[in-house]
Structure 1
Amino acid sequence: MAATLLGAVLQTLVVFTAGAAIPFAGFFPAIPVAAIVAGAPAGMAVSIGALVLVWWAFREPHFVIHALSAQERSETAWLLFFALILVAFGLLCRKLLERAYERQRAMNVLVRELEHRRANTFSVLHAITKRTLQHEPEAAERLLRRFEAIRRTNDLLTEQPTGALLTTIFRNELEGITSEQVAMHGADVMLPPEQARNLILIVHELLTNAMKYGALSAPTGQLRIEWSRTVNDLSIRWQEVGVPVVSKPDRQGFGTSLIELCIASVRGSWEPAFEPEGFRCRLVFPLPERENSD
């Protein structure tokens, strides 16, 4: 009924603008819409309603039931022919929409299942780590914090599948650290998922070292994070001041190895420096094409 009324309104507009030369033009959009929304019976019902309304209200003599002339019978036959085509087109669109809906529904179920399994996986990893390293609680805690950083990354990218904002990454990792000790400066940048995952692990390792040995290990320490971007690169400057570095580590620890692995996986680079006033480093990430085009 709604589609028939819509067709009648459109047909009225056609008559006022183009005259009665195109007797059924206003109903042509309504027929496939009815078929898409309610199926073939609705599409054919609109077609029959169009026939009745046109001959009764839009052709002379108006509002009078009369026998059809040869020309009118020919026009009726053409309308039915085009109506069948439009109904078939509407049914095709309906089938495509139903398939798209089913695929989306199946995808949503799959995503929920994967999220459930991911949560279970982290629970299992947590239990295995605690059990395996029960006599080394400090090592277990470090490993669990790394797992937690990965979990936070996945949660962030689940909410924003296209990537994560740089400031969001820093704020999430710096949560719980007093703002008086941390200063950040730079225009926000959207990082794609792969770079976001690796940067979160890098920031986690840098923060862990800063809290154990560096600027965040004492109230007098300060951490400054600055970043800038060019057409091709994102440059991040990490500088700790206020807590002097006693000496450069004699050997490369697992945290440093993890940072270098993350840097290499996104084809970036980093320049660490152990200076008397504190640790500093510069990270460089190449920006992908879609980021370059912003």
Structure 2
Amino acid sequence: MLVDNSSANASEQSNRESEARFREIFENAGVAVWEQDFSAVCDLLDQLRSDGVEDLRAHLKAHPSRLDEAIAQVRIVDVNPFTVELFEATEKDELLRSLSNVFLPETTPIFLEELMALWQGQRRFGSEAVVQTLRGRRLDVVFTVTFEGARCERTYVSILDISQRKAAERRLRAVDRIAKAIASNLDLDHIVQTVTDAATELAGAKFGAFFYNLADPDGERYTLYTLSGVPRAAFENFQLPRNTAVFEPTFRGLGIVRSDDIRTDPRYGQSAPHFGMPEGHLPVASYLAVPVVSRSGDVHGGLFFGHDLPGVFTAETEATVTSIAAHAAIAIDNAHLLKAAEHELAIRRATERAAQQLAAIVESSEDAILSIDLDGIITSWNIGAERLYGYTVEEAVGSPVTLLIPEERLGEELEILSKVRAGQRVDHFETFRQRKDGGLIPISLRISPIRDNAGEVIGASKIARDISERRQAEQQKDLLIQEMAHRVKNLFMVSSSVVSLSAKAAASAEELASAVVARLGSLARAHVLTLPTPDRDGASEGRANLQALLSTLLSPYDGETPQGLRRVTARGCDFGISRAAITGFSLVVHEFATNAAKYGALSTATGSLDIECIDRGETLELKWTEQGGPQVTQTETEGFGTKLAKLTIERQFGGEILRQWHSEGLIIRLIVPKDRLQPPE
């Protein structure tokens, strides 16, 4: 009997080449790939079924030791080089021991969901999770698990690091908190604590502190102001920082100190009595200190951050915290401004203008992986490639790779093939590729040669990552920085102007302080209405409606008369007030209300105020009618409020104010062109 071995040999050769292509992709993939054996886990699940377990989730939650047993049953067969680098191992064998080495408490619930997928017969599972490197560094990841083999003995897990994206989201939230704290809250303790907490989070520090600069008679004492990340008890047993060689650049405002390991810094350990960290001090390796300097150049103090691992704080961290320090300087300068106003000091200082640098939100997706032969024909095509380029595997495999390349970039492929034939790799090559629908996508490419069993180059693997969201995020970052700078600048310019103008009319320090606090409080309430809020379509608005603004400004005076009538009513037309107009309009209404509370209808329990908003076509008429108060008489004297209202309405809005004094109360007619109030379409 004759046996034809040619077919068997060809099949064996094909299998070897397929395995070679797979190993090449496995070894050179730009994501972490784990090969695991889940057969023992399958045995455990079968045993649970035979024991009568029907609700696996409830059973494992009630018996956490069985879940730990399932984790221990996972055998790690192999990991690719990218995994070794990502999880900060010195060699591959360190990662082949147990999944528990990279699991955190937050990881276990996700593993439970993975077991649920396996229990229900699914062959694929994906999710976001939090894991740790072998050095204890926290990683935010997206992973996909594919169960292969009859007993899942060949299970592949691809892990994509999304820590930068998550960090960017946390930075955005922290910056938003800082902006709102400065824009709507005048309490210094609240603002500085918010800045310290947010900066600690942004820096990724184990703890952070803000030390306020207060000199003792010898000029050498600094008082702890805020602390974040650790309780105050952690510092109670230690002296306050002194001007040692390490601390001096910060407390004297000479510059920023950033060290991957402060213990190796030549300035460290040079000062008595400890010559380094005192016994029991929090462990510090990574160190970052940024001075907080006022606009006048005075050093308020410094923001200090520490971590027990070396190399945590990067140049980007330094830039971010420097921007946060500028916000801290603004808060302290503003506190000085208010304190000076209370003591009848005419403050002329302007706070330092600073913009919060936002980190780009880089959205990651699974990479597109494809392979080509030396003639540029596509030989394999994964799901990521289908999603990125729009071609199905049937459409792509067997087609020339040039169907993805714009005509003006065909020369790139010739150069790539030339390097591949020479056995060279191409790392992080940024270019554009063309989707099936004709659209261009910016991508980052990594190309590696594929070799056969004899070591000959037979093709190339290409790993492509869509970087369009990163580019969009960079553009969005620039727009947000400009918006933040504009808001902070306007807010403190108005505050400075209110203090300066109020000082001219105040007869005493108490009167000045009261007037400034009242006017700034009114502006703060009105400003909150202008903070952008997303609508249903995801867009944001930056305006307030007329009726809502009036209600907010007059809410301190509302209530009922003894006869059960509303003390303040606002009625009539309603439309949006632009962000540019809201400050001036709010000041005018505030002055009207203040005068009514001092001398008019709102100064008595029986008085009432009616505001009617009348749409006159091109103008708005606001009719302010006071009734039930003391008898009023016309006066020729113009106080600060009257002057402020007149200047604002006439110069800013091009309108006019008409007053009518009646025995039953004052009537004010405010006439303003609507195009000066409403936002542009």
Q: TM-score range by the shorter chain?
A: 0.5 to 0.7
Residue pairs, 1:62-77, within 5 angstroms: 76-77=399-400
2:211 counterpart residue number: none
C-alpha change, 1:192 and 1:109, in structure 2 (3 Å) is: closer
Look up the equivalent residue of 2:520 and give its one-letter code.
F
Indicate conservation of the 8 Å contact 1:271/1:283, yes or no. Answer: yes
Deviates more, 1:179-188 or 1:111-120: 111-120
Corresponding residue SS for 2:573: coil
- How big is each residue's C-alpha offset from its partner over 1:203-260, in whole Å with a ceiling of 9 and x where there is no partner? 1000000000001001111100000213312111100011244321231111000001
Deviates more, 1:141-150 or 1:112-121: 112-121
1:178 aligned onto 2:553: no
Aligned counterparts of 2:579 and 2:370: Cα–Cα separation in 1: 46
Aligned counterparts of 1:116 and 1:290: Cα–Cα separation in 2: 22
Look up the equivalent residue of 1:191 and give its one-letter code.
I
C-alpha change, 1:37 and 1:230, in structure 2 (3 Å) is: farther
2:458 counterpart residue number: none
Aligned counterparts of 2:676 and 2:604: Cα–Cα separation in 1: 42
C-alpha change, 1:195 and 1:291, in structure 2 (3 Å) is: closer
Corresponding residue SS for 2:666: strand
- How big is each residue's C-alpha offset from its partner over 1:58-105, in whole Å with a ceiling of 9 and x where there is no partner? xxxxxxxxxxxxxxx8xx44xx4332231581127x555422212323
2:405 counterpart residue number: 84
C-alpha change, 1:127 and 1:182, in structure 2 (3 Å) is: closer
Indicate conservation of the 8 Å contact 1:228/1:234, yes or no. Answer: yes
Indicate conservation of the 8 Å contact 1:186/1:227, yes or no. Answer: yes
In structure 2, runs of 5+ residues without a counterpart are 1-363, 372-377, 407-433, 444-465, 534-540, 560-565
2:171 counterpart residue number: none
1:188 counterpart residue number: 574
2:544 counterpart residue number: 164
Residue pairs, 1:95-110, within 5 angstroms: 95=467, 97-108=469-480
C-alpha change, 1:106 and 1:50, in structure 2 (3 Å) is: closer
Aligned counterparts of 2:495 and 2:675: Cα–Cα separation in 1: 34
Match among 577, 590, 598 for residue 204 of structure 1: 590
Two-structure CA RMSD over aligned residues (Å): 4.2
Look up the equivalent residue of 2:513 and give its one-letter code.
A
Aligned counterparts of 2:548 and 2:520: Cα–Cα separation in 1: 19
1:201 Cα deviation from its structure 2 partner? 0.6
Look up the equivalent residue of 1:53 and give its one-letter code.
E
1:38 Cα deviation from its structure 2 partner? 5.4
TM-score by length of 1: 0.65
C-alpha change, 1:243 and 1:203, in structure 2 (3 Å) is: same
1:182 Cα deviation from its structure 2 partner? 1.3
Indicate conservation of the 8 Å contact 1:245/1:274, yes or no. Answer: no
TM-score by length of 2: 0.30
Look up the equivalent residue of 1:232 and give its one-letter code.
E
1:11 counterpart residue number: none
C-alpha change, 1:284 and 1:111, in structure 2 (3 Å) is: same
Aligned counterparts of 2:640 and 2:491: Cα–Cα separation in 1: 25
1:279 counterpart residue number: 666
1:39 Cα deviation from its structure 2 partner? 6.3
2:610 counterpart residue number: 224
- How big is each residue's C-alpha offset from its partner over 1:167-192, in whole Å with a ceiling of 9 and x where there is no partner? 11111112232332112211321111
Corresponding residue SS for 1:197: helix
Look up the equivalent residue of 2:394 and give its one-letter code.
L
Look up the equivalent residue of 2:624 and give its one-letter code.
W
Look up the equivalent residue of 1:210 and give its one-letter code.
A
C-alpha change, 1:243 and 1:102, in structure 2 (3 Å) is: same
Aligned counterparts of 2:672 and 2:501: Cα–Cα separation in 1: 32
In structure 1, runs of 5+ residues without a counterpart are 1-35, 57-72
C-alpha change, 1:290 and 1:219, in structure 2 (3 Å) is: closer
1:287 Cα deviation from its structure 2 partner? 1.7
Aligned counterparts of 1:247 and 1:198: Cα–Cα separation in 2: 27
Look up the equivalent residue of 1:250 and give its one-letter code.
E
Corresponding residue SS for 1:175: helix
How many residues were matched structurally? 239
Indicate conservation of the 8 Å contact 1:236/1:283, yes or no. Answer: yes
1:29 counterpart residue number: none
Indicate conservation of the 8 Å contact 1:240/1:279, yes or no. Answer: yes
Indicate conservation of the 8 Å contact 1:129/1:140, yes or no. Answer: no
Higher relative contact order (CA 8 A, sep 6+): 1
1:282 Cα deviation from its structure 2 partner? 0.9
Match among 137, 159, 162 for residue 510 of structure 2: 137
1:149 counterpart residue number: 522
1:159 Cα deviation from its structure 2 partner? 3.8
- How big is each residue's C-alpha offset from its partner over 1:1-31, in whole Å with a ceiling of 9 and x where there is no partner? xxxxxxxxxxxxxxxxxxxxxxxxxxxxxxx
C-alpha change, 1:253 and 1:291, in structure 2 (3 Å) is: closer
Match among 212, 215, 236 for residue 622 of structure 2: 236
1:269 counterpart residue number: 656
Look up the equivalent residue of 1:168 and give its one-letter code.
A
The alignment-based identity, stated in percent, is 23
2:165 counterpart residue number: none
C-alpha change, 1:50 and 1:148, in structure 2 (3 Å) is: closer
Corresponding residue SS for 2:551: helix
1:41 Cα deviation from its structure 2 partner? 4.7
Aligned counterparts of 2:485 and 2:393: Cα–Cα separation in 1: 53
